[in-house]
Amino acid sequence: MTKKYFAFLLSVLIITLSVAPFASAQTPTEVQKTRSKVQELAADRDKKVEVKLRDNTKYKGYITAVDADSFTFSDEKSQTQKFNFSEVQSVKKSGGGISTKTWIIIGSVAAGSIITWAIVKPAFCDGGAQTRGIC
């Protein structure tokens, strides 16, 4: 009975440790990168940004002020919050358009359509002799 109990506790411990996220502090270089990114995005006060914290909480809004070790953030409801650079996992411009991946897909479909038309049309049209159908 104790072997089963020990095996059960060991398996629960292994699963818990493998699933639980580990909180890691940012290195000074990561903090500096975050600070420079925030300063770059804060240059345009009307630019909407997305802030993701280390606990995976996301905020969308505007950067209103930047200090030496923190920045002030205002969301759409005009609620201001202050975040330390060490709390922030990433800061990026909030998506406001079509992504690069979507443009690649659209371009691929267009190129495929043109190539297919260029290959299939001569096969159906016999060099332009036929006057019905797609020719």
Q: What is the pLDDT of residue 118?
A: 80
Structure confidence at residue 128 (pLDDT):
54
pLDDT confidence of residue 11: 65
The CATH code for residues 23-93 is 2.30.30.100
pLDDT, position 32:
86
pLDDT at 106: 94
> How high is the mean pLDDT in each 10-residue block of the chain (135 residues)?
66 63 64 86 82 89 86 84 88 78 93 86 64 59
Contact partners, residue 113, CB within 8 Å, separation at least 6: none
75, 72, 71, 74: which is closest to 31 by C-alpha? 71
Q: Is 33 exposed, middle or buried (0-12, 13-18, 19+ CB in 10 A)?
A: middle
Q: What is the domain partition of the chain in residue ranges? A: 23-93, 97-135
Amino acid at 104: I
| Run of H or E residues at 33 | helix 28-42
pLDDT at 12: 63
Tell me what pLDDT residue 134 has.
61
- The shares of helix, strand and coil residues in the chain, as percent rounded to the nearest 5, are 50, 25, 30
User: Which residues have a Cβ under 8 Å from the Cβ of 3 and sit 6 or more positions away?
Assistant: none
- Distances in whole angstroms, Cα of residue 108 to Cα of each of 67, 82, 101, 120: 45, 44, 11, 18
Q: What is the pTM of this model?
A: 0.51
> What is residue 77's predicted lDDT score, i.e. its pLDDT?
81
81 φ, ψ to 5°? -135, 155
Q: Is 25 helix (H, G, I), strand (E, B) or coil?
A: coil
